[in-house]
Chains A and B, each alone.
Chain A
Amino acid sequence: MKRAIVIAAALVFGGLLINAIVDLPSSPVDLRIAVADNMANSGVSHPVTAVLLNFRGYDTLLEIAVLLLALIGLMAAGPMLPPPPNQPADALLQKLARIATPPVIVVGGYLLWAGAFRPGGAFQAGAVLAAAMVLLHLSGLLSAWNAQLLPLARRVILVGGFVLFLCISVALLAAGSLLQYPPHQAGLLILLIESGLTLSLAAILAGLFLFLSRDNGGAP
């Protein structure tokens, strides 16, 4: 009964939604123009990066906060199983991981640098680095993290990028408003922020996996 009602409601809703989408007249505001007009002052030449770290950089700041707090929530509530026995890792997988890691780090670095003028940036770079860490972990070369015993250095790395971002945003308050880059230093500051973010994002994203993982080399 409930099933039938939900499905009927979903059909009606989907129909309305599609109808609304198809009928929609063109929008009165076009931000592409505004973005293009202000690119010169944004400090970067790739529009998405300009929006992400300059025009709507405040969103990004808060978004890192979301990521960080989710990690803390996960540490607070996640399972606390006894540490798993040290399983002998797959030798082939280890070799693969050893070979793959350096190029992955290079790719990450490239993505970070490229973000200023073409697709890429801190998120992608951080995600790639995190993927490398997960790979290392799965091949037994990087142990899981214990949420209850987190060394200070690791905590600093986790929050470092966010703190750097926050500090720069606040320092720029002196110029009039939060995150108001001076046009000439914008490029440099954005690169600085992105570098910090890349490291912290890599650590946080990997942390989402490493705090929970109990599989030393045994992915299903």
Chain B
Amino acid sequence: MSSELLFAVVGALIFTLGVAGTVLVANLLRRILAFNLMGSGAFLVLVGLAQRGGESDPVPHAMVLTGIVVAVAATALALALLRKQHEMKDSEEELTEIDDG
């Protein structure tokens, strides 16, 4: 097994871990991490498979660059929504506490 193929297999494992994580993990921040793992796994499969003959291939490299940027965009959006949700939960709970008091 060439090391490129090895990394493709590793990518497959990481993707699987990521999928299982997104389904099983309840904490939303951790889900975001799991989603990022999915992406990284897919990138590894893409480059590893493409280069399993041993030669470097610029086309998947460019695709992965695009993918990384898309992933960070999605992650930032997810974190923003998560924080907003958290913030609103906070203020709501404070409100109820004031009501109780």
Which residues does A use to contact B, with CB under 8 Å? 2-3, 6-7, 10, 13-14, 17-18, 21-22, 24, 26-27, 31-32, 35, 47-48, 50-52, 55-56, 59-60, 63, 66-67, 69-71, 73-74, 77-79, 81, 123, 205, 208-209, 211-212
CB of B35 within 8 A of chain A? no
Chain A's closest residue to B57 (CB) is A32
Which residues does B use to contact A, with CB under 8 Å? 1, 5, 8-9, 12-13, 15-17, 19-20, 23-24, 45, 49-50, 52-53, 55, 57-59, 61-63, 65-66, 69-70, 72-74, 76-77, 79-81, 83-84, 86-87
Chain B's closest residue to A75 (CB) is B80
Cβ-defined partner of A70 (8 Å) among B15, B61, B77: B77
User: What separation, in Å, do the CA atoms of A2 and B23 have in the docked complex?
Assistant: 10
Cross-chain contact A6 with B5 (CB below 8 angstroms): no
Cross-chain contact B66 with A59 (CB below 8 angstroms): yes
User: What separation, in Å, do the CA atoms of A7 and B17 have in the docked complex?
Assistant: 9
Cross-chain contact A77 with B57 (CB below 8 angstroms): no
Chain A's closest residue to B13 (CB) is A14
Cross-chain contact A14 with B59 (CB below 8 angstroms): no
Cross-chain contact A212 with B83 (CB below 8 angstroms): yes
Cross-chain contact A18 with B73 (CB below 8 angstroms): no
Contact A3 to B70, CB < 8 A, known contacts A10-B16, A50-B58, A79-B80? no
A residues less than 8 Å from B23 (CB atoms): 6
Instruction: Tell me how far the C-beta of A11 lies from the nearest C-beta in chain B, rounded to whole angstroms.
Output: 8
Instruction: Tell me how far the C-beta of A88 lies from the nearest C-beta in chain B, rounded to whole angstroms.
Output: 25
User: What separation, in Å, do the CA atoms of A32 and B56 have in the docked complex?
Assistant: 8
Cross-chain contact A70 with B73 (CB below 8 angstroms): yes
Cβ-defined partner of A77 (8 Å) among B12, B16, B73, B81: B81
Cross-chain contact B83 with A63 (CB below 8 angstroms): no
B residues less than 8 Å from A56 (CB atoms): 59, 62-63
Mind listing 16 A-B residue pairs with CB under 8 Å? A2-B24, A3-B24, A6-B24, A7-B20, A21-B8, A21-B12, A32-B57, A32-B58, A60-B66, A63-B69, A66-B73, A71-B73, A74-B76, A78-B80, A208-B76, A212-B80
